Amino acid sequence: MLSRKNQDTPEQKVLDILERNRINIAATLPCDRIKALLVLVEKNIKTISLTREENGVGICAGIYFGGGRPIMVIQSTGLGNMINALLSLNLTYGIPLPIIASWRGVYKESIEAQWQFGKRLPEILSASGINFTIINSLDEIDRLDEAIKESFRSLHPHVILMSPAVWEGSISEAPQTQEISPRNVILEFNRTIQKPELTRYEAIRTITETIGDDLIVSNLGIPSKELYEIRDRDLNFYMLGSMGLVSSIGLGLAIIQKKHVYVIDGDGSLLMNPNALISIGNYEPDNLTIIGIDNAAYGSTGNQATCTQNQVDLELLARASGINNTAKAHSHHVLVEALRSKVGFIHVIVKPVNAKCKEIPFSAARIKESFMKALQSS
Ligand SMILES: Cc1ncc(C[n+]2csc(CCOP(=O)(O)OP(=O)(O)O)c2C)c(N)n1
């Protein structure tokens, strides 16, 4: 039970608004000014700790698809890491996302590195077509409620820029510090990369033949077109942009609902955003399999080489990120076996060949709506 004093804090008022709006998941990355808010949020709402804000956009999209009501709570600088994702995912498909951003760089700001982005932020958001509300003091806190409602009503992200003035004088609790856990770190890893027997098209065909009615979230570019051509169905989510976020969307979906989620990711995309794997390793839902299809190339843009060609091993990267249950496949039967065992990460070695496929004829809104409807009725 909270004391009367705590109920009057600005942080508690924010939490009350979140609860009133049935927010059930918060994706967070800290700012000093909201450290007390984050303590309260974490105590009362299921919280996903991010390692990069952009991943929160993907995770929250997956949560929304699965019927959840997510929010992000971050420092305003993180919006600089999110603009492409907000436009190519949320604005493109029509996905709501309220974002509480601790607005740095403007009010009593001593850190010079905050000034440039902070002062331009309202113009950056306006120019990007992202709705936002500024809250300058506690008196204006009801605007948070309006902004959250607006986001879910309009199916549009809405940034709430919260001035540090809101929290001034608050007596809320600061976080408890925790030391690193003493532990042995043992990684035994010995693998052979074998010559690929499959193309990506053949690997995707193997996936669709093996996974039954489970969900597929598919990477942008040619993989989605190949999947569409091989087996179009409403339980496929085709990503059209937001490179690097497909596994984050899969994580959000796996967290919020029970069906197994297979993510078709690519080596270029995983290497663009490897810290998506760290969040997956942190939560490791057992209904999520990331399939890293590795053609050692940015296939969709003309097969330019990536660092998996002779340097990085994606399975080892997944292991190092905390995903314990992994496999490697270079042929049809090894891939089938790995898919059937529903491991967390499958590194699929394929030839750098793109099938000639037609465009997916659906709008982004149609892809989202059919996927959500099929998921609800499955
Ligand atoms: C931020 C960003 N940078 C670059 C691109 C262009 N792009 C689209 S698909 C793609 C290649 C993806 O490569 P990979 O993940 O390996 O998948 P593949 O196409 O090989 O299956 C690139 C570079 C983009 N869409 N977004």
Rounded CA gap, 162 and 20, in Å? Answer: 19
Domains of the chain, start order = 4-167 (3.40.50.970), 200-377 (3.40.50.970)
Among 217, 226, 300, 307, residue to substitute to test ligand 1 (most atoms within 8 Å of Cβ): 300
CB of 287 within 8 A of CB of 261? Answer: yes
Ligand 1 atom at shortest distance from the alpha carbon of 265: 15
Atom 12 of ligand 1, residue of closest alpha carbon: 298
Rounded CA gap, 146 and 99, in Å? Answer: 13
pTM: 0.97
- Ligand 1 mean position, distance from CA 338 (Å): 25
296 lines ligand 1 (CB under 6 A): no
Alpha-carbon distance values, 301 to 108, 142, 222, 269, 309 (Å):
46, 47, 9, 12, 16
Residue 266: beta bridge partners? 293
The reported pLDDT for the residue numbered 1 is 43
For 56-80, write each residue's pLDDT tens digit.
Answer: 999 999 999 999 999 999 999 999 9
Comparing 141-150, 158-167, 183-192, which segment has the lowest mean pLDDT? 183-192
Question: What percent of the chain lies above the pLDDT cut of 70?
Answer: 98
Question: Where does the pLDDT of residue 6 fall: very low under 50, low under 70, confident under 90, or very high at 90 and above?
Answer: low
pLDDT above 90 (res 332)? yes
pLDDT above 70 (res 4)? no
The reported pLDDT for the residue numbered 378 is 87
Average pLDDT of span 363-374: 98
CB of 253 within 8 A of CB of 261? Answer: yes
Residue with tokens 């078709």: 264
Question: Where does the pLDDT of residue 3 fall: very low under 50, low under 70, confident under 90, or very high at 90 and above?
Answer: very low
For 221-237, write each residue's pLDDT tens digit.
Answer: 999 999 999 999 999 99
pLDDT above 50 (res 208)? yes
Among 269, 308, 347, residue to substitute to test ligand 1 (most atoms within 8 Å of Cβ): 269
The reported pLDDT for the residue numbered 169 is 85
For 242-268, write each residue's pLDDT tens digit.
Answer: 999 999 999 999 999 999 999 999 999
Which residues lie closer than 8 Å to 75 by C-beta, 6 or more apart? Answer: 29, 30, 31, 33, 34, 101, 102, 104
273 lines ligand 1 (CB under 6 A): no
Which residues lie closer than 8 Å to 45 by C-beta, 6 or more apart? Answer: 15, 18, 19, 23, 24, 25, 26
